[in-house]
Chain A
Amino acid sequence: MNMDLMKPILALILAFTITARGAEQVDNGLLAFYDFNTIEGPIVKDRSGLKPALDLRIRAKGNTRRTNGSLEIIKGTVITSERPPIRMLNALKQSNEITVEVWFKPGNLKQDGPARLVTISKNTSERNFTIGQEVANLQSRLRTTRTSKNGMPAIETTPILSGKLTHAVYVRDSSGNASLYVNGKKVKGQMTAGTMSNWDSSYRLALGNELSGERPWLGTLYLVAIYNRDLSAKEVALHFKSGAQAKMDPTKLAAAQNEHLFETKIAPLLSKHCLECHDPATGKGDLDLSQKLTAFANKDMIVPGKYEISALWEAVAKNEMPKKRTPLSTPEKALLKQWIDGGAKWTLSRIDPAIYAQGNETSGNWIRRLTVREYIATVSAATGVDISTHARALLPPDLRADGFANTAYNLNIDLQHINAYAKLAELIVNRMDVITYAKRFSRKHSFTDKDMSAFLEKLGRWTLRGPLEKREVILYRGITTSVVANGGSYEEAVGLVLQAMLQSPRFIYRMENQFTGGRVGNFELAVRLSYLIWGAPPDEALYAAADQGKLSSPEQIRIQINRMLKDPRAVDRSVQFLSQWLNLGHLANLRPDKNHFPRWNPSLADDMRAETIAFFKEIVWKQNRPLSDLFNAQFSYLTSQLAQHYRLTPLQTGKGTLRYDLTKIPSRGGLLTHGSVLTRGGDDASMVTRGLFVMQDLLRGVVKDPPPCVNTTPVPSQPGLSQRGIAEKRIANTNCGGCHSKFEPLAFGLERFDGLGSYLEKDNHGNRLREDGQILFPGEAKPITYRTSKELMNHLADSNRVRQSITWKLTQFALGRPLGPRDARSMQTIHQAGWKSGGTYANLITAIAVSELFQIQPPENTE
């Protein structure tokens, strides 16, 4: 068996085991899960699926008895993690929320202490958390900044336990509301104020006893689960209803595995090897393998459960398919066989090759360094200093990768960065009125440990985008004590601390806890939101919302988004997206052939850039129109020289831009008729380049390499042969036409625009230029004919495929990474939500911000 395949299947089995108790059980935020089904020797396996797993060891195995799906403790022992569960502790401290769920049957109703069911502690008087049995009561203790080291005051039920199987859940939300549920019902509620930031990271997790061995509990454990979020009452009730030992139906499990196999392996496989010929448009042999309906139309093609009589399998096994292409490898064939044999489940509405174009693993979970622009904005927000000129001069520029300059994996670091950060930190502090600034956080100019620590905590919370840990306060305190030791002043000390903070990892990077899995913490979410919308850190209102737990629901997040979108920084951020999406930076480097374009003036490139940005701003911010209108809105913003270049009558003199109504000029209108986009085709206005741009960047189409032995040198126009004529020859060529017919006609509607965007009806050789053509939307069987470029623009603006592309591009920009198969389902949700609500920039940003993709931290090392 292929181990690469086994891993996801194993994860799936675990996921289904975990969710077996109820289809709707939410496992987001799950940090550890013990169902006692898997005990290897003295080891109780953590089945949360997170890696590394938090397995526990039974100290005296002989004191326990294993039954099916349970562990009975018949004599005092402890079941404990070998080391402190750092990932779990970090996650809990960060979320400031916790749920601990236990299914158990007490061995007696006399044990007390409380006798530990679950504990994260050191001994009988020092703990982070404990839930236990106190005679017939249930008691829990939680350490916060407002409770004792022993987690007192405790929360305790009245006598409620019997000798029966019991479901107990402790829940505490970020506002401090703590609840105890027994058998699905809330039996006790209490405020446990403060935060969990003071949790001790050296404590271990244990079941059945205190770590020091003095609070043994006897009885049977059936299930223990720990979450870094507050389960709702409904969820708790659902968990109770699902029971402690509900099992997954083996048939359902197999079906789920087969569905998972289809989504992760078979769909990419069909996309890679089959859809070039067997998609709706080409449909060779009347077979379309991109959709369930058509793939199964011929009942002999794929026979679920019977690979040996499936025509698809037969053709692949004999290497008859794919034709004239590399046959499937042995492991790929094995997967196909396994899928058909397992029932050939098909869960996707359509296999979209664009999703698989980048392979299965699009990128790791990379921490995001601030881009140069983000650094400038962050410094400005944190200190009030505009460091843009120096930062742009000193910091190396961020390079594009996968279409954007904020792609996290490519935001690497060099000595030049370190040197620049050091120099910039010094410059920033030199420009600040340090004493006035410090007064925001403390009016005491005191070096005493208490005062200085309090000051540093407040300063750090603001500058470093979230609460400081104790170790950080100690570090910064070290700088201030050095200043004191060297006879320095308070001002000097604060200045040096600021310099250190401005170079610290928490300033330079968007630091997050990547081990939590599940929803990110409130401060992390605040930071994600602010960089999404502003490219800058949160303001005080957003921090306050995070602090008060007011970023928990989509409604609360929407309130913040609506507020934030009114800030001018939101406009700047949207323009950053536009500039990177369309790579407007290329305009600065245009150097058209002087012989071909003797009248080219480099300042036209600036005008083209200004045109596109002004046009975008009006659509997005002034008129609040759907982003699809970018393709056919009949107006633009032109300078007089750009109007002339476009062969329009200038309406103004001088250098500024003016709004031009283009309703009477149907040939021009929409992004694709802007010089900024048309120049992407090069001097020769390449049909291939322009067609590929429309296909790949607007329609998310996928096209293969040209077949071997084809000369790809661009062919120049000549009398009697325009670029369209040349393209038509390629399309008619049996070797080229299969692919070229899919993308070159997309550029036909742009034929009347030369390499620099001027409008012509004849080319240099006198060939008459046309604007009619056809557009084939990926996934569709038949192309749509258009007569004019305006019709083409209208088709693009009306196309759901184009809208999808906009959603994907904006989401990629938001996440700072390319998107792949693992994102497809969430992308569908974002897309539907964003366009259903109007399809404006604000709608899409909101849909992204409230999505799982944006709010969930993918667990490290798990699929």
Chain B
Amino acid sequence: MKSHLNRRTLLQGLGTVTIGLPLVEEMIATNALGAAKTKVPTRAFNIFFGLGIPAPLQNEGFDDVLEPLKPLKDKLLIMRNVDHVRCDVRGINAHFDGATASFTAEPAGGEAKAGGPSIDQVIRHAHHPTGLPVGMVPSLVAGTFFRRSRVGRYHHSYSLDGTIAARMQEKPRDLFDRVFGTVTTTNDVDARTQRLKRSVLDSLVDQYRFYIGPNSPLGTASKSRIKDHLDRIREFEQRAFEPKNKKSNGPALPPRSRVPHGGPADPGGEGIDITLEELKSEWRLLADLYALAIEIDRARFGSITFLAAGERIRLTGKYNYNGRIRYEFNDAAEHRRGGSGGCSHEWWHKFNEKNENKQLRAHAHMKMNEIAYFLKRLDSTREVNGRSILENSLLTLSTESGDGRHNNVKRELSGVFHAITSANGLFKTGQSMDVKAEGIDVYNTMLTAMGSKRKIGPEKREHKSVDKIRT
């Protein structure tokens, strides 16, 4: 089971986060969502990072860009040669195509729509067809990113109809609120007012319920929207009216984010200047909060994003890894360009297998280090079966293009880097496998293993099971 030490260290990240531990203790001890205490729940999360890893570099094993994942290598199955070529969409570049396909294996269905559900949501519906227990965040979607031209570049959890599964929580404070809940509370009003407020809420639940019922005048798509609305009302209700048994020293809000969000995060594709320290602080804060949400069983499905597809940042700062300076970033100066031409993604455009590609390698290595941080957080908590959350969950690590020609469909979409965890022993780990298969077959194999009857992709397509990834 969990150790106090793990929980205490969990929130210490870079030393910038302080969440009141007593409340966390209480959440774990008393939460009504405590299925995880006696039985390991099914979980599926998508982890996305922007710009990818060129296929030739994947073949170097853990010797260079994948080095940070080495301590976790026995708990990961690295899958090379996963092909998403079917996801090419005419007129849109492979950054977007690859990113939208990364967990759906289907071409995008629109600027803000995937062509189908992401794997986490298929698993969610297989195991919770009528919804998750009340109070649990149905899908937790978070991330840090600075390229926002199309939603598919950064959003990585899609409902069965291809629309986004949940709103993106991009600021640590937003993520904190989403998970630990600071909704308009009724705890500060008297019992009579509470009763009356409850009657308002009851009427709302009845109204929304009508619109998803058999007499609803709405069609399928609209009903699903109203159902989402009703689910959120129930969640709101749970939080607004939960018993007043919290201790006064609740979790403190995380510090304000220091990196730009919203419109300023993407000034028209021209990129932003950012230091490694700023980026890393944000990522770790987000990773800590997301991991905590999983640990206390408030989230079982969703996605986390480490930079968008075709990301535009001009990074500066010394990158220390294992006590040595791995690289000193200064993208704009090295490119001798400002604006988008000075951004890190140009290293991917300039990738050439015959060259050293030192800047690309450093960027990719640094991202792997941050993802490893998140994975290690999940690996530090043991569950009832003696395995860690990392080992018990299906974590799918995927990305977009990687070979530097975002307009070369075959290069960009045919060697996408993938890694998965064992999902409580369902998948092989401890190896780097050349799967040579379509992403859609890989994902459907994973879905079958995870107990889903639903498959992604065209209904009539012949499914080719990639059994070699299964134990």
Contacts and interface: CB of A to CB of B under 8 A. Distances in A.
Interface of A: 86-87, 90, 94, 201, 272, 357-359, 362-367, 369, 396-397, 399-403, 407, 409-410, 412-419, 422-423, 426, 471-472, 475-476, 478-479, 482-483, 486-488, 492, 496, 499-500, 503-506, 508-509, 511-516, 585-586, 588-596, 679-680, 682-684, 702-714, 716, 818, 860-861
Contact of A419 (B236, B266, B341): B236
A414 B179 CA distance: 12
Contacts of A399: 112, 151
B267 interface: yes
Interface in B397-411: 405-411
B210 A412 contact: no
Contacts of B236: 415, 418-419, 422
Interface string B155-199: 000000101101100000010011001011000000010011101
B71 interface: no
Given A365-B222, A591-B267, A708-B405, 8 more contacts: A363-B110, A367-B221, A407-B112, A471-B210, A500-B204, A503-B204, A509-B226, A514-B222
B132 interface: no
B180 to A, nearest CB: 12
B410 A708 contact: yes
Interface in B101-130: 109-113
B340 A396 contact: no
Interface in B379-423: 405-411
B151 A201 contact: no
Contacts of A705: 88, 90-94, 407, 409
A486 B196 contact: yes
Nearest to A715: B341
A399 B111 CA distance: 11
Contact of B207 (A472, A486, A679): A472
Contact of A410 (B88, B151, B210, B346): B151
> Which 5 A-B residue pairings sit nearest by Cβ, starting from the closest?
A593-B338, A401-B112, A364-B221, A367-B222, A414-B167
A415 B208 contact: no
A767 B93 CA distance: 32
A682 B340 contact: yes
Contacts of A403: 111
A503 B201 CA distance: 9
Given A86-B215, A363-B110, A410-B163, A415 B263 contact: no
Nearest to B227: A413
B225 interface: yes
A813 to B, nearest CB: 15
Contacts of B350: 713
B232 A591 contact: no
B219 A478 contact: no
Interface in B253-287: 262-270, 272
B111 A713 contact: no
B199 A402 contact: no
B338 A486 contact: no
A211 to B, nearest CB: 19
Contact of A593 (B112, B199, B339): B339
A181 to B, nearest CB: 30
Nearest to A483: B196
Nearest to A476: B203
A132 to B, nearest CB: 28
A505 B184 CA distance: 20
B202 interface: yes
Contacts of A590: 267-268, 270
A357 B91 contact: yes
11 contacts: A413-B232, A415-B232, A426-B184, A478-B199, A496-B197, A514-B217, A593-B342, A594-B338, A704-B90, A705-B88, A705-B409
B163 A412 contact: yes
A472 B88 CA distance: 48
Given A680-B268, A684-B339, A709-B408, A479 B203 contact: yes
B51 to A, nearest CB: 14
A412 B91 contact: no
Q: Which of A414, A679, A684, A712 has the most CB of B within 10 A?
A: A414
Contacts of A415: 178, 181, 183, 232, 235-236
Given A412-B225, A514-B219, A419 B183 contact: yes
B263 A512 contact: no
B114 to A, nearest CB: 11
Given A413-B225, A683-B338, A705-B91, A710 B268 contact: no
B211 interface: yes
Interface in B218-234: 218-222, 225-226, 228-229, 232-233
B348 to A, nearest CB: 10
Given A357-B91, A513-B217, A708-B409, A367 B196 contact: no
A558 B196 CA distance: 46
B198 to A, nearest CB: 8
B455 interface: no
B338 A596 contact: yes
Given A357-B91, A412-B228, A482-B196, A596 B219 contact: no
Contacts of A588: 263-264
A363 B13 CA distance: 43
B167 A682 contact: no
B206 interface: yes
B405 A710 contact: yes
Contact of B200 (A416, A479, A595): A479
A345 B232 CA distance: 51
B338 A595 contact: yes
Contacts of A712: 349, 405-407
A504 B338 contact: no
Given A272-B90, A860-B219, A711 B405 contact: yes
A326 to B, nearest CB: 9
A364 B219 contact: yes
B232 A417 contact: yes
A307 B276 CA distance: 63
Q: Which of B177, B207, B210, B410 has the most CB of A within 10 A?
A: B207
